[in-house]
């Protein structure tokens, strides 16, 4: 009997990816904390004023609720009206899943809301992609604002330590941007093709593409566009206030001012976008290195980054786990109702 050729299953690849990304996060943490005593970081974080930290946590929770409402606004053009409670719960479950594998949360939140509100999965995924595009635009808008108000501060040192590591890889891989544009154009062409040929129920893949693009295009059919814009701005204002309150919580960052807080927000945004679990390592490295431009020592910068990131991590674990429980309780009655309808129809 011949042995079957060795191959990795999807489950094994998932485990391999998890540990690979975890190793990258550990490497980034090592780079961030190299030459610094962990005990000194713990003592520095211990100096934080609890009231300012609690205020920062309150802003973070408010931003999550605002995100849940904005997602609800994106779903409405699809013909569904999910409750704010369930969109927020699903959002938190997604954040919790991202701690396992980056971008897994996008699928998890769609799956959770799909079960809770009986909304098709593919259009929901399209709304999440649209939301991520808005977040990307918002982050780069904050970056542009930062570069304008801090143009005198950011000289050669800033370009060499912060910008070049971001810009150079993009410049070396211009073909990736080209592939992205071609990919988006290809999806739209396929969508138009399937849409023109569809009569009644189409094939699985044609329906998937149409549903996905329908969700993506929901941003152009908003029923309350100004409310969507308001929440998109409010989310980032709340993020900023959360960072600023953490500045005030520590004695060595309390006097840095609003400009440094904006820098920490932008640097942290890029750190959290890194393809590692929860932005671990990337957040600490970018924020601590960036704050050195404002005269903060590496140790104090790491203490600040550790405080903010640990607070976010704690909120995600607590609220994510609670949301998972609440959603499971909400889904059970829906399942019973659906089963009762099927029995009645039969």
DSSP for 63-83, written as a single string = HHHHHHHHHHHHHGGGT----
Give the pLDDT score at 236. 95
Q: Going along 135-206, which residue ranges are E strands?
A: none
| Alpha-carbon span 288 to 299, nearest angstrom | 8
The residue-averaged pLDDT of 235-254 equals 93
| Alpha-carbon span 41 to 64, nearest angstrom | 28
The residue-averaged pLDDT of 339-345 equals 51
pLDDT at 332 over 90: no
Q: Which residues of 214-239 are buried (b: 16+ CB within 10 A; e: fewer)?
A: bbbbbbeeeeeeeebeebbebbbebb
Q: Which two tokens stand for residue 94?
A: 């997604």
Give pLDDT tens digits for 297-327: 888 889 999 899 999 999 999 999 999 998 8
3-state secondary structure (DSSP) of residue 236: helix
pLDDT band for 138, please (50, 70, 90 cuts): very high
Give pLDDT tens digits for 67-86: 999 999 999 988 899 999 99
Integer angstrom CA distances of residue 312 from 92, 177, 230, 246, 309:
12, 31, 23, 12, 5
Give pLDDT tens digits for 27-36: 777 777 777 7
| Alpha-carbon span 99 to 97, nearest angstrom | 5
Q: To the nearest whole number, what is the mean pLDDT of the chain?
A: 79
Give pLDDT tens digits for 160-204: 555 555 555 555 555 555 565 566 556 555 555 555 555 444 555
Give pLDDT tens digits for 229-240: 999 999 999 999
Would you say 284 and 29 are in contact if contact means Cβ atoms under 8 Å apart? yes
pLDDT at 343 over 60: no
């Amino acid at each position: 009997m011949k042995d079957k050729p060795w191959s990795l299953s999807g489950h094994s690849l998932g485990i391999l990816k998890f540990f690979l990304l975890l190793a990258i996060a550990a490497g980034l943490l090592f780079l961030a904390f190299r030459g610094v005593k962990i005990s000194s970081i713990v003592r520095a974080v211990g100096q934080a004023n609890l009231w300012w930290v609690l205020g920062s946590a309150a802003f973070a929770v408010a931003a999550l609720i605002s995100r849940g409402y904005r997602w609800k606004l994106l779903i409405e053009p699809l013909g569904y009206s999910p409750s704010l409670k369930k969109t927020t719960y699903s959002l938190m479950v997604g954040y919790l899943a991202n701690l396992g594998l980056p971008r897994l949360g996008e699928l998890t939140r769609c799956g959770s809301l799909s079960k809770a509100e009986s909304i098709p999965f593919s259009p929901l995924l399209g709304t999440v992609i649209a939301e991520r595009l808005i977040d990307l635009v918002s982050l780069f808008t904050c970056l542009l604002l930062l570069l304008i108000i801090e143009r005198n501060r950011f000289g050669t040192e800033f370009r060499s330590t912060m910008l070049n590591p971001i810009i150079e890889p993009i410049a070396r891989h211009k073909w990736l941007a080209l592939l992205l544009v071609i990919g988006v154009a290809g999806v739209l062409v396929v969508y138009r093709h399937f849409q023109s040929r569809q009569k009644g129920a189409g094939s699985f893949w044609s329906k998937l593409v149409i549903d996905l693009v329908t969700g993506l295009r929901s941003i152009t059919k908003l029923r309350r566009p100004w409310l969507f814009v308001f929440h998109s701005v409010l989310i980032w204002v709340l993020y900023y206030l959360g960072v600023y309150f953490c500045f005030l919580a520590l004695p060595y960052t309390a006097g840095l001012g609003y400009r440094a807080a904006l820098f920490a927000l932008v640097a942290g945004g890029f750190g959290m976008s890194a393809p590692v679990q929860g932005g671990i390592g990337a957040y600490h490295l970018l924020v601590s290195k960036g704050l050195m431009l404002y005269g903060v020592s590496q140790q104090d910068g790491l203490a600040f980054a550790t405080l903010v990131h640990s607070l976010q991590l704690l909120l995600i674990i607590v609220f994510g786990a609670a949301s998972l429980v609440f959603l499971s309780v909400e889904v059970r009655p829906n399942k019973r109702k659906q089963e009762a309808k099927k029995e009645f129809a039969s």
